[in-house]
Structures are given as structure tokens and as C-alpha cells.
Amino acid sequence: MKLFTNKKKLQREINNINNISFVPTMGALHKGHQSLIKKSVKESKKTLVSIFVNPKQFDNKKDFSNYPKSYYEDIKILKKLRVNYLYKPSYADIYKFKTKNKIFLHKFSKRLCGKYRKGHFKGMIDVVNRLLEIIKPKKILLGKKDFQQLILIKKHIEKNKINTRVISCKTIRDKEFVAYSSRLKRINSYEKKILIKILKVLRNYKKNIISQKIKHDFHMIKNELLSIGVDKVDYVELVDLKTLKKPKKNKFNLFFAFYIGKIRFIDNF
């Protein structure tokens, strides 16, 4: 595996490779990341992974400084997975150039997390766009756990006619149905038990909506989650994955964001 911290050196290396797949990460790699990387290695000529904790997509400075970092462990994982290139840029290497593409924020950015994290999606699209301009990959692999992020990247790519295909990949979960996330490294065993209970309640809640035993009632489910041990609930919403609107039929995913202590969790299923 070749490591690059400078975009010009990276570009000289990959300039003539026409089948590079790209997996963007902020490090603290887990089984979700590994699943994306394995898929890329299996299906593409070359795989490039980036590690960059992007300050522009954090609306909370403490959250940025506390974001888990495990660089040396990440290197071991990437080598084991036979990744070809790792790009670990500095802030200046990413942001000290003028982009060709304008940031496009689809109206879906105003919903769900967009209501609660000012500037988050703009910062996220900005860095992804910059990485795409530097790397020019044939494919970018993204997980469905961050579905809103995935869709907004896809819409930005379509709007700017960027020659990169978005590959959406399934959410990887543990035996308790908890989606792998870097933030899990920041919770203790008691908080993990609360998280498992929450997911059971929300899965049951979705089943009851589909079977028409109940209708979606945000205040009811919010109060139930607070009684279990959630500290704050941002949203619990039903979204049709095709229209990105409220579902007219029983085909939808349940999207939610809540806090256990100071850690914010998002997921959908």
C-alpha cells in the first residue's frame, strides 16, 4: 500500500489508472468501512481510501476534537485488506485550491439531520467534491447507514455531471442489530445496552406501523425513547427511499437521530 499526504504526488501516481474505486473515511475504521473496502478491492482494478477528519462538517468543535482516531490501527487494517493507496491529506492540501464544481445542495439537505446540524451537509459536500476533483475515481462507495449523505453526494455528482458512479452498500450490523460506527468507540457498556433497547423498540415500532396497528406519532415514540434512557431525540421520521418524501404506502425506512449522553447516533432501516 502506498501512502500519500500530497495531492500532486498522488495524482502523478494514479493519473493513468482508469478504474480506481474510492472509499472516503474519517478513520477509526470499523467493520462497516471494511465491508466497503472489501467490495471495492474485489470489483475494481485499484482501491484508494482517504482518511481525513473534516472540520467543516462538524457543527460542534468538541465533537470534532473528540472524534475517535486510531491511525496506526487503521494502517494495519488497510494493509490487511490489500488497499492500493491511502490518501491522508492535511487541511491545506484539501482546501488550498479552487474547485471547478459548485457545491450543489439538494432540497433533501434541509430535512432530517439538516434541521439540526447547520452547515454540516455543505461542509460534507465541499470535502467530497474536492476529493473527487483530486482523485477522479470511476466509483465512490458509500454506506446506506448515512443514507441522507449518500443521496446528497449522488445529487451533487449528477448536477455537476461528474464522471463518478455512486455505489451504495448495505449497512453492516452486529448480532444485536447495532450498526457499526466510529462513535461506538466512545460509549460504555451501560450506554451500549441502552442503544440495543432503543433499536428493539424502533424495529417493533416500524413493524406496528406497517401492520397498521398504529400510526406514526413522533411525540409518543420520543417519550418512549426518553423513558428508556435517551437524553435527547432530534427526529424519528418515515421516508420513502425513492421519492425522499413522506410515504404514501407502507414502503419506507424509519430514520432517526438521538443522543445517549453526549454521543449522537443516526441510523435508518
Cβ burial, residue 237 (10 Å; 0-12/13-18/19+)? middle
Q: Phi, psi at residue 189, to the nearest 5°?
A: -65, -35
**Helices and strands per DSSP (H, E), number in the chain:** 9, 9
H helical segments located in the chain: 7-14, 31-43, 61-65, 71-80, 91-95, 120-135, 147-159, 189-210, 218-228
Are the C-beta atoms of residues 255 and 268 closer than 8 Å to each other?
A: yes
CB atoms inside a 10 Å sphere around CB 89:
20
CB atoms inside a 10 Å sphere around CB 57:
20
CA atoms within 13 A on the CB side of 233: 21
Q: Cα 129 from chain centroid?
A: 15
Measured CA distances, 187 to 53, 74, 155, 259 (Å): 20, 20, 33, 11
What CA–CA distance (Å, rounded) separates 50 from 162?
Answer: 19
What CA–CA distance (Å, rounded) separates 26 from 38?
Answer: 17
What CA–CA distance (Å, rounded) separates 227 from 3?
Answer: 48
Q: Which residues are catalytic?
A: 33
